[in-house]
Amino acid sequence: MKWWQKLKKNPLARLGAGLLLLFYLVVIAADFVAPYDPYDSQPDGSLLPPTRIYWATETGQFIGPHVYPTTQGPTDINTGDRKLLEDRQKPAPVRLFVKGAKYQIFGLIPLDIHLFGTVGDGKLNILGTDEQARDQFSRLVHGGRISLFIGLVGIVISFPLGLLVGGISGYFGGWIDAFLMRLVEVLMTIPGIYLLVALAAVLPAGLSSAQKFFLIVLITSFISWSGLARVIRGEVLSIKEREFVQAALSMGANPFYIIVRHVLPQTASYVIISATLAVPGFIVAESVLSLIGLGIQQPDPSWGNMLSLATNASILVLQPWLVWPPAILIILTVLAFNLLGDGLRDALDPRSLQR
């Protein structure tokens, strides 16, 4: 049975792949999916709960889904709660494909159409607003670009390095193998999260979020390739003794050509599985750094710095919509990658391919 047929029969792997496909499509089209600019504040709209959608007016007349302009009212002296003020005279219909904040597709094509929104003065904050009166859903969607793509960029940087070091070490052996493996062992002894915190803390002040993003990726990639190199080295030790490698060597092929063209491709199944299981580590690393204030900083959104509000106990009780959505998305993303990785591991198992 071919590996993709076996993968399709694994419901958990399909679930993980489906979730990841959905998440990546949404964040790629974040400008279209998000109804508002993630940096814009709404007048008198700080810490609004998720907007309530109505279907009929106060008189009972059905007019379809709509919302009302909502602002925070004065604080109740007895309970400490802030009342919501809704202007029932200005219903704003909820529609698909409405005009809103302008954006550009790939920086070339200007558009102002969003997937959903309102027609009128009312705002549809389906996940409420933050302390700066910014739409939480729009920030969550845009923040996913950093949190999701940091893993893919990290894989692109770290895996080629791990493949080459492991391939060279296993193929040549001798003092090259000894030197490279000692280097790998030193890197493997470094506690990753503490190194990230230490290095992130000494980054120069004034860096933009984009610069911090790439520095976090580089730091994370620097300490994550060593485990892959060690495993690849073990696989190359056995692969280099096979007939097709010996045939290429007897024909005078360059050793580096043999490694890249004949040896490393034989490790593809392990690399694919490792990549899907390694991406969550990059996502969690970014989330932890942003959570403790050393990663992506406000006003730029990421799931990690949005989750940093969880350090305030009152937020957890009074404004839970600010904490649970990014936390749930991080959990679902990590779980989806693990489900897909486990499915690929089972599908690419040589024993299953023979059945």
pLDDT tens digits for 75-118? 666 665 677 888 888 888 999 988 888 887 766 778 888 899 99
pLDDT of 133 reads: 87
Instruction: Tell me what pLDDT residue 81 has.
Output: 67
From CA 244, how far away is CA 208, in angstroms rounded? 50
pLDDT band at 141 (very low <50, low <70, confident <90, very high): very high
Residue 26 has pLDDT above 90, yes or no: yes
Confidence of residue 354 (pLDDT cuts 50, 70, 90): very low
Q: With a cut of 50, say whether residue 353 has pLDDT above it.
A: no
Of 172 and 315, which is predicted with more confidence? 172
Q: Name the DSSP letter for residue 129.
A: B
Mean pLDDT of 7-20: 82
Strands (E), the chain: 54-56, 62-67, 70-75, 82-86, 92-105, 109-118
Calculated CA dihedral for residues 166, 168, 172, 175, nearest 10 degrees: -80
Q: What is the pLDDT of residue 314?
A: 60
At residue 52, the 3 state secondary structure works out as coil
Q: Which of 11-25, 76-90, 230-244 has the lowest mean pLDDT?
A: 76-90
Q: Quick: pLDDT tens for 256-297.
A: 888 888 887 878 777 887 888 788 877 777 777 777 666 777
Whole-prediction pTM: 0.83
Per-residue confidence at 352, pLDDT binned at 50, 70, 90?
very low
Q: How far is CA 52 from the centre of its chain?
A: 29
pLDDT computed for residue 76 by the predictor = 65
For the cut 90, the answer to whether the pLDDT of residue 298 exceeds it is: no
Q: Please, what are the domains in the chain?
A: 51-124 (no CATH), 139-353 (1.10.3720.10)
pLDDT band at 23 (very low <50, low <70, confident <90, very high): very high
- pLDDT (mean) for 217-232: 80
Cβ–Cβ < 8 Å for 121, 69: yes
Question: Is residue 234 predicted with pLDDT exceeding 70?
Answer: yes
Give Cβ neighbours of residue 158 (< 8 Å, ≥ 6 apart). Answer: 220, 221, 222, 224, 225, 228, 278
Q: What does the alpha-carbon distance between residue 177 and residue 165 come to, in Å, rounded to a whole number? A: 9
Mean local confidence (pLDDT), 247-258 = 82
Mean pLDDT of the chain: 81
In terms of C-beta density within 10 A (0-12 exposed, 13-18 middle, 19 or more buried), how is residue 135 classed? buried
pLDDT digits (tens, 9 = 90+) for 144-181: 888 888 888 888 888 888 888 888 888 888 888 889 88
